[in-house]
């Protein structure tokens, strides 16, 4: 089976934008050209790669596998381009927005190393909630944003026109319970816990997990309190006020003897991705470099943690 890798990138554009028309706009070619490339790719693959629906184009399992291969090709091309441009001086200011746990554990510890590697590159960190970060991003006050989503949430944060998203890492959700509560992964019933759930601010991915559990268990999952910072959640759990769902990164390196962290089947994973503006429309060596550094740091952290 021989395939033209350029057609894989067309399939990737359809996967990211959700349709042929949007992909054509992103690639700056006609919709008929996109359809022709997809037809040729399906002929080369010997099976259907997309299914057209009234709401857009949906990738088949084979299409998803091909899109993942396209992402690897795109990543390899970016690495090669960065190496070829290695002689050029990477200079400028790149403003990156993100949420606490990723910035604290994956990004900030690497800043001294990156500063030594690229002395003329300044990486400015902005930490805030998802709505605030996306508002700054749309206003072009940020060059890139690290976002989080529950991987199996029914509603995902859509991409606006001109934005692209690339995956950074996936990590499991954990259930936090008071130490000594005698709850284990063997006897736990998420719909019948002896303590209430702690509420989290609505834009956080944790909140989507609670909504998913409400739907899957059919239980009335009501919350008390409302936290934004994971340390606040851990303090509330330690005080016996309730239980909470937190991502693995948020508790990395946090000493807390009064709570237990449980890996519960069905909690799913948190998907972390980088959003930026379409680099095909305006190439920026500093932004490309920072995106690569973030991917490499996330991959290294993922390998160390064994997630």
Q: What is the pLDDT of residues 203-229, one digit of tens each?
A: 889 898 888 888 877 777 889 999 999
pLDDT band at 291 (very low <50, low <70, confident <90, very high): very high
The residues pairing with 101 across neighbouring beta strands, listed in sequence order, are: none
Cβ neighbours, 10 Å, residue 181: 16
At 184 the pLDDT is 61
Chain mean position to CA 26: 21
C-alpha span between 230 and 68 (Å, rounded): 32
Identify which has the larger pLDDT, 13 or 1: 13
The residues pairing with 259 across neighbouring beta strands, listed in sequence order, are: 178
- The pLDDT > 90 percentage for the chain reads 37
At 73 the pLDDT is 82
C-alpha span between 107 and 93 (Å, rounded): 16
Could you say which DSSP state residue 33 is in?
Answer: H
At 82 the pLDDT is 65
* pLDDT digits 0-9 by tens, 71-125: 888 777 776 766 666 545 788 999 999 999 999 999 999 999 999 999 999 999 9
Q: Which of 1-10, 127-136, 159-168, 283-292 has the highest mean pLDDT?
A: 127-136
What would the two tokens of residue 73 be?
């090709």
3-state class percentages of the chain: helix first, strand second, coil last, to nearest 5: 45, 25, 30
Selection from 180, 290, 211, 298 nearest residue 248 by Cα: 298
Q: Is the pLDDT of residue 253 over 90?
A: no
At 87 the pLDDT is 47
* Phi, psi dihedral angles at 261 (to 5 degrees): -105, 125
pLDDT band at 194 (very low <50, low <70, confident <90, very high): confident
C-alpha span between 44 and 47 (Å, rounded): 8
| pTM, 2 dp | 0.69
Average pLDDT over residues 173-199: 80
Q: Is the pLDDT of residue 133 over 50?
A: yes
* pLDDT digits 0-9 by tens, 140-172: 999 999 999 988 764 456 677 778 888 999 999
Could you say which DSSP state residue 105 is in?
Answer: I
Contact, 31 vs 45, CB < 8 A?
A: no
Average pLDDT over residues 44-61: 83
Q: Is the pLDDT of residue 282 over 70?
A: no
């Amino acid at each position: 089976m021989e395939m033209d890798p350029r057609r894989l990138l067309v399939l990737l554009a359809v996967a990211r934008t959700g349709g042929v028309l949007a992909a054509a706009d992103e690639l700056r070619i006609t919709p008929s050209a996109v359809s022709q490339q997809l037809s040729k790719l399906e002929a080369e693959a010997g099976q259907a790669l997309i299914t057209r629906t009234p709401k857009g184009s949906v990738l088949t399992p084979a299409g998803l596998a091909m899109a993942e291969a396209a992402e690897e090709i795109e990543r390899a091309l970016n690495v090669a381009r960065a190496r070829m441009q290695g002689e050029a001086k990477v200079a400028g200011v790149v403003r990156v927005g993100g949420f606490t746990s990723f910035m604290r554990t994956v990004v900030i510890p690497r800043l001294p190393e990156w500063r030594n590697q690229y002395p003329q590159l300044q990486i400015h960190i902005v930490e805030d909630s998802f709505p605030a970060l996306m508002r700054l991003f749309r206003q072009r006050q940020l060059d890139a944003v690290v976002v989080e989503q529950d991987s199996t949430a029914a509603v995902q944060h859509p991409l606006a026109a001109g934005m692209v998203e690339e995956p950074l890492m996936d990590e499991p959700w954990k259930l936090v319970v008071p130490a000594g509560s005698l709850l284990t992964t063997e006897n736990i019933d998420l719909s019948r816990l002896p303590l209430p759930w702690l509420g989290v601010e609505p834009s956080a991915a944790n909140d989507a997990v609670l909504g998913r559990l409400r739907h899957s268990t059919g239980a009335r999952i009501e919350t008390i309190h409302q936290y934004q910072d994971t340390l606040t959640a851990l303090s509330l759990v330690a005080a016996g006020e309730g239980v909470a769902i937190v991502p693995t990164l948020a508790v990395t390196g946090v000493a807390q003897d009064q709570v237990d962290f449980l890996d519960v089947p069905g909690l799913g994973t948190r998907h972390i991705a980088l959003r930026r503006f379409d680099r095909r429309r305006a190439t920026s060596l500093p932004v490309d470099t920072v995106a690569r550094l973030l991917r490499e740091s996330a991959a290294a952290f993922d390998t160390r943690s064994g997630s």
